[in-house]
Each structure stands twice: as C-alpha cells, then as structure tokens.
Copies of this chain bind each other. A is one copy, B any other.
Amino acid sequence: MKKGILLVISGPAGSGKGTVNAHLLERDDFVYSVSATTRAPRPGEVDGVNYHFISKEEFLHRIEHGDMLEYTEYCGNYYGTPLKEAEEVLASGKNLILEIEVEGARNVKARYPDAVLVMLLPPSYSVQEQRLRGRGTETEEKILERLARAKEEILCAPAYDYVVYNRDGCDTEAAEDILAIVTSEKCSLRRNPTVAEDYLNA
C-alpha cells in the first residue's frame, strides 16, 4: 500500500478554501484532518468532527511527547494537529488535508518534509478585495484587517510547493489542479527512489 500524501492547504480570506476542500473531500481517497483544541466546544460542535476537544494538560503532554505535528496558541487556547491520527490516515493510503495558516504550514514541512504545501489564491488581489467586500457582513475596519493579513500570508507563498488560483466560478478547476498535484507527487521519483529495483523484481 502506497502512503497517502499529507496535503497542507492554506489560503487567505476570499480564496474559497472551504469550497475547494469540500470538492476534494467528496472523493473517498481524501480525509480532512480534525484538529485538537483546548477551547470549550461551542453549541452544536461535535467532538471528533469539528475538533478533538482535549484538556490543556493533555495538550501540553502531547506537545512534550512529540505527538503534535504542529500547534499554535491563540487567545489562550491551543490548536494543533494530532500526529498519530495523521500517520494512520497516510499509512492507509489516503491523502490527508490539513487546512492551516502559513506559520503552521511551515512547521509541518519542517517536521514532515514529505508534506505538500499548496497555497490557494483568489485570481488577484483586487478580486480578493471585491470578494471580501461582496460578503457585506463585515465592517470596513475588519475588511482592511483581513486584507492586510492576506497580504502577509501571500508574501509567504515562496515557502510553499505549489500555488493554485481559484478563479471566479472555477472552484472545481482549482480542486482539479490540487488533485493533479497529488497525482503528480505520487509519480515523482522523489517518492519512488527504488523504482528500478522494484520494477525489475516485480
């Protein structure tokens, strides 16, 4: 059984990450990585579906034992990716999607160099701005804050392996580009270093 690909997908606000990931998750060879967190569940959130809700003590214990692939602290709560669960999914041959921000993505790559880092982008900064304003649900201050944050994130693109553009109305195409990346990575010599021996002995 060939190992699955650990696929880290980051995308600034307005990139349509959620929709694109939903397309990938319609396939049965993709699994979404459920994060662990120390924050309290919100009404309607289900343990093991939205998050693995664990105590701060347990979280710190896992960090100490190297059982978190990456983690971050935000507003006094910890969020992270359980390593064991990720390894089990990958060993089963399925691809695991981690939807995390740029700092987490870099940490994953450092810890697990086989990870494939994809940055999903709106077609351009001006379209991104339109998308954020088009939602009409946020204050001007909040929009400017999100755009500033998006700029910072995009400047981290060179740390990624791939960049995929999510053009208007083309989220299926963006998902297909990501599928192509996974297929291609599986064919890469880097992931098949013993191809000649394997071939001749099969």
Contact = CB atoms under 8 A, between A and B. Distances in A.
B187 A177 contact: yes
A137 to B, nearest CB: 24
Interface residues of A, number: 36
Q: Would you call the interface of chain A mostly helix, strand, loop, or mixed? A: helix
Contacts of A183: 176-177, 180-181, 184
A130 B199 CA distance: 15
The count of identical subunits is 2
B125 A157 contact: no
Contacts of A40: none
Contacts of A195: 121, 154, 157-158, 163
Interface in A169-201: 176-177, 179-181, 183-185, 187-189, 192-193, 195-196, 199-201
A151, A179, A181, A199: most-surrounded residue (chain B CB, <10 A): A199
Contacts of A118: 187
B196 A154 contact: yes
A161 B177 contact: no
A78 interface: no
26 contacts: A121-B199, A123-B202, A125-B200, A154-B195, A154-B196, A154-B200, A156-B196, A157-B196, A157-B199, A160-B189, A161-B188, A162-B184, A162-B187, A162-B188, A163-B187, A163-B189, A163-B192, A163-B195, A177-B184, A179-B180, A180-B184, A180-B187, A181-B183, A183-B184, A184-B184, A184-B185
Interface of A: 118, 121, 123-126, 151, 154-158, 160-164, 176-177, 179-181, 183-185, 187-189, 192-193, 195-196, 199-202
Give the top 10 A-B pairs by smallest Cβ distance, nearest first.
A184-B184, A124-B202, A180-B183, A180-B180, A162-B187, A181-B184, A157-B196, A157-B195, A180-B184, A163-B195
